[in-house]
Structure 1
Amino acid sequence: MRLRAIVRSLFATAAVAALSLTGLAAPAAASGADLPPPGANNWACKPDSAHPEPVVLVNGTLKHMWENWLTLSPKLNRAGYCVFAFNYGTLGTAPIADSAAELRDFVAAVRSATGASKVDIVGHSQGGMMPRYYVKFLGGADKVDDLVGIVPSNHGTANPLALAAGWTFCPACLDQRPDSDLLRRLNSGSETPPGPDYTVITTRYDEVVIPYTSAYLSGPAERVTNVKLQDRCPLDPFMHDQSPKDPVVAQWVLNALGRQGPADPDFQPHCLSL
């Protein structure tokens, strides 16, 4: 697909993307909602020495695993990783602490099946922030090697629709307000406790996590890398909702997973061409 066509497609869905965090957009069709994305959930998969940690994919609010990871999951599988995904928290609307407990249990199942001592986690939106609760409060610090957040809501969002949805049916949306009790607790002290390496990938065109810089994490360079897509690929048009399908994002994810430490801040991906 040429870049101009991508731009038209992305901007046409901007409003839907903005509402997907808050739950005001219609959920995806039920068909496929309980199916893993291509390349995921082969419970007989055993990690090899080149890819020792299985990858757990964590979708965002009002998302299910099949649609969220339709593109990235098979890429990770083809690269040699054992890939796993799950649905949680009633399409990610449940309180984030409850969803983090579901993640804890799923990681335990993956580790048991694969024999791996640690997993890598790649999450989108809430799915990039919520695992930090697992790491910090639920014993995940020594069970996660890499945590890669794609447009994560690490410091919440000023999107006013989040509050409206939160008061109706989406406790996770209230948890993702910048001043929420959960985020104050999560971000007090160290935002990036020792254990995992942390990579944040965001886009200047994020219309859901507002401002986009609220995705960034503080911490020492040896275990924290913050990436803005347009710093390396100025013409990258991807916004929040479709960012897991961005081929540039996939390159950053693979870079983070394939090396010691977080993603290389000097990494130069192949950018989209005109």
Structure 2
Amino acid sequence: MTAAVLCLLGAAHPASAADGDAVRAAQAMEMKGASGTTDPGRGTVNDWDCQAAPDRKPVVLVHGTFGFTKAPASVRSEAWHTMAASLKAEGRCVYALQYGTTRFLGVGEQVPGTGDMYASARELKVFVDGVKAASTASKVDLVGWSQGGLVARQYLKDTGGASVDHLVGLAPPNHGSHRIDALLGGLIGYTATSQMYPGSEFLRTLNGSGELVGGVAYTMLATHGDDWVNPADSAFLSGAPEQVTNRWLPDSRGEGKGPEHAMLHVDPDTIAWVKEGIRYPGKPASPHFTPR
């Protein structure tokens, strides 16, 4: 059978040696689950043989500070499962990396999401390259939770965004967070936390020449229930409405506030907004969208 016929039939292109190297490099960065396994989504993430539905790009989930290691046991065991399962039900392949791992005071336990965010952005590039090689997709969609949104934005700035269609940010401190522990974290070796303090060199550089990268659609979500990002509207980005949608998450529980920062990954309205934010090629979520 000729190569032309194989192409018409949609046969997969044989992976090159370089593709294989890229996939193996990404697999080495898979996010660890609660038990130390590479399964933070109970079988819903990091299936390197996953076959997506037509026109569904791979989704890469980028965790926040500490990953899930400092969260309550229920959150650690849940990890990305609820969000990933919902995305997978739409025919998407979902991947999650672990990045920015450093040690407390240089000698303690390994803690993800604490290292220099410039380096973490380079780690994200390695992971995205591996996902693209495994899936043969030309672009991915990114979902960045908290610090993960900043790491994703730095990655976009470093690469020009050629490999990404959408970025959905779940309460990322895009303009910093006024928390004293953000400053103190840097004193114990957690460079990323000090980089998230308003006015840091990292944030000045990230936002200084424009907050958006051309060709990428942004949906930024904030919550009035945020107990970490201060002020909560630090999540919002400046740019044309055709490229960026900034929205407050709804108060679905009638408590006078939105979901808590630590629970965004399992909040049904947040997940609905994530799916809306990656639904239309080249476009952010509709500002008129309402979760059902």
TM superposition score normalised by structure 2? 0.78
Give the distance between the partners of 2:143 and 2:204, measured in 1 at CA. 23
Counterpart of 1:161 in structure 2 is: 181
Counterpart of 1:207 in structure 2 is: 227
Contact 1:34/1:66, CA 8 A, preserved across alignment:
no
Listed as ranges, the matches of 1:79-90 within 5 Å are 79-90=90-101
Give the distance between the partners of 2:251 and 2:224, measured in 1 at CA. 9
Q: Compared with structure 1, are the counterparts of its residues 106 and 179 closer, same or farther at alpha carbon in structure 2 (3 Å cutoff)?
A: same
Give the counterpart of 1:59 among 60, 63, 87: 63
- Residue 34 of structure 1 and its aligned partner are, at CA, apart by 3.7
Relative contact order, CA 8 A, sep 6+: which one is greater?
1
- Residue 255 of structure 1 and its aligned partner are, at CA, apart by 0.8
Counterpart of 2:128 in structure 1 is: 107
Give the distance between the partners of 1:150 and 1:47, measured in 2 at CA. 24
**Residues 24-50 of structure 1: per-residue CA shift (max 9 Å, x gap):** xxxx99624642313111111133323
Counterpart of 2:269 in structure 1 is: 248
Greater gyration radius: 2
In structure 1, stretches of 5+ residues that fail to align are: 1-27
**Residues 227-257 of structure 1: per-residue CA shift (max 9 Å, x gap):** 1013888656411111111000011011111
Listed as ranges, the matches of 1:108-187 within 5 Å are 108-137=129-158, 139-187=159-207
Give the distance between the partners of 1:103 and 1:66, measured in 2 at CA. 23
Give the distance between the partners of 2:251 and 2:217, measured in 1 at CA. 21
Counterpart of 2:17 in structure 1 is: none
1:161 is paired with a residue whose SS is: helix
TM superposition score normalised by structure 1? 0.83
- Residue 89 of structure 1 and its aligned partner are, at CA, apart by 1.1
Aligned length: 241
Give the counterpart of 1:72 among 70, 83, 90: 83
Q: Compared with structure 1, are the counterparts of its residues 200 and 245 closer, same or farther at alpha carbon in structure 2 (3 Å cutoff)?
A: same
- Residue 97 of structure 1 and its aligned partner are, at CA, apart by 0.4
Counterpart of 2:243 in structure 1 is: 223
2:261 is paired with a residue whose SS is: coil
- Residue 218 of structure 1 and its aligned partner are, at CA, apart by 0.5
Give the distance between the partners of 1:166 and 1:57, measured in 2 at CA. 25
Q: Compared with structure 1, are the counterparts of its residues 30 and 75 closer, same or farther at alpha carbon in structure 2 (3 Å cutoff)?
A: closer
Contact 2:223/2:248, CA 8 A, preserved across alignment:
yes
Is 1:95 aligned to 2:116, yes or no?
A: yes
In structure 2, stretches of 5+ residues that fail to align are: 1-31, 69-75, 102-111
Give the distance between the partners of 1:116 and 1:214, measured in 2 at CA. 32
Q: Structure 2 counterpart of 1:179, which letter? A: G
